[in-house]
Amino acid sequence: MIRRLPLVHFHGVMPGRYLAAWPTYIVGDDPSNLTFSVAVDDAAHILILAVDHKRVGHVSEDRDSIRREYITAAVRVRLHQRAFRERVLDAYRQQCAFCGFNHQELLDAAHIVPDSQPEGEPVVPNGLALCTLHHAAFDRSFLGLRPDCTIEVRPDILQEHDGPTLVHALQALHGSRIAVPKKPSLRPDPALVQIRYEQFRQSF
C-alpha cells in the first residue's frame, strides 16, 4: 500500500477455480482488525504511475479514488456474473438443461427469474445452464418451464410450420423434463420456477 504497487486479486468462485482482477491496489489498512481494503484500477493507469509525478495530465488522489471506486464497482458486477455462470455450468455438468448440448463456448447461465426482478438473485437455484438457442427461446417465452421441471412450448410455436430447427430444437421439447443438478440444493427453486412460469403463461 505504501509503495502503491499493483497486485493481482484472485476471486474464488469455487474450490480450485478463480477469476483474476488486475491491477488491484491496497487502498486502506486496519491493523487492529487485521483487515485491508482493495480497489481495482485501469491497467492503462499504471503507465501514469510509472513516470515522473510531474508529468502533465497526472491526476489527483481524489480523482484516483473516484476512478477506482467506479472501476471496482464495475468489476464487482462482472465478477458476480462470471461467478454465477461458472457455478451454474458446474452444477449442470457443462451441458444444456434442455437439450444436453455440451460445448461450453455456446452455453450460458440463464436466470429463471430475471435479475431485474427482486427475486432474481445470481444463485444456482435461480439458474439454468442453457445453450444460446434455448437461452434466447426461454428469455423470449418461446419455451416455458413448469414447476415440475417440464418444458412447455408456447401454443403458437407448437402450431407453426417451418424447417427442421423449429421441429427438433423447439417443438420436440414440449412435455420433456429438463436435466437437473445431482445435488438437490442446486436444483431449480420451485417457487422461482412458478414465478417465471406465470410470466410465461401471460405471454399468450
d(CA 77, CA 147): 29
Residue 40: predicted pLDDT: 83
- Neighbouring CB atoms inside 10 A of 172's CB total 13
Distance, CA of 199 to CA of 204 (rounded, Å): 10
Position 56 scores a pLDDT of: 44
Number of residues written out for the chain: 204
The residue ranges of the chain whose pLDDT is under 70 are 43-63, 77
Question: What whole-number distance in Å separates Cα of residue 126 and Cα of residue 148?
Answer: 15
The widest CA-to-CA distance across the chain, in whole angstroms, is 71
Q: What is the full DSSP assignment across 172-198?
A: GGTTPBPP--SSGGGSPPHHHHHHHHH
Q: Dump pLDDT digits (tens) for 44-70.
A: 655 555 444 444 444 556 667 777 777
Grid cell of 128 as nine digits:
439454468
Determine the pLDDT at residue 116. 87
Domain ranges in the chain?
7-91, 104-201
pLDDT in tens, 139-158: 999 999 999 999 999 999 99
> Each residue of 80-103: b (16+ CB within 10 Å) or e?
eeebbbbbbbbbbeebbbbbebee
* Distances, alpha carbon 101 to alpha carbons 1, 11, 129, 136, 150, in Å: 47, 28, 10, 15, 18
What φ, ψ does residue 137 adopt, rounded to 5°? -65, -35
Dist. CA 90–CA 16, nearest whole Å? 12
Give residue 17's pLDDT: 83
Cβ proximity of 155 and 204 under 8 Å: yes
Sheet with 35-40: list strands edge to edge: 7-14, 17-30, 35-40
Beta partners for 151? 145
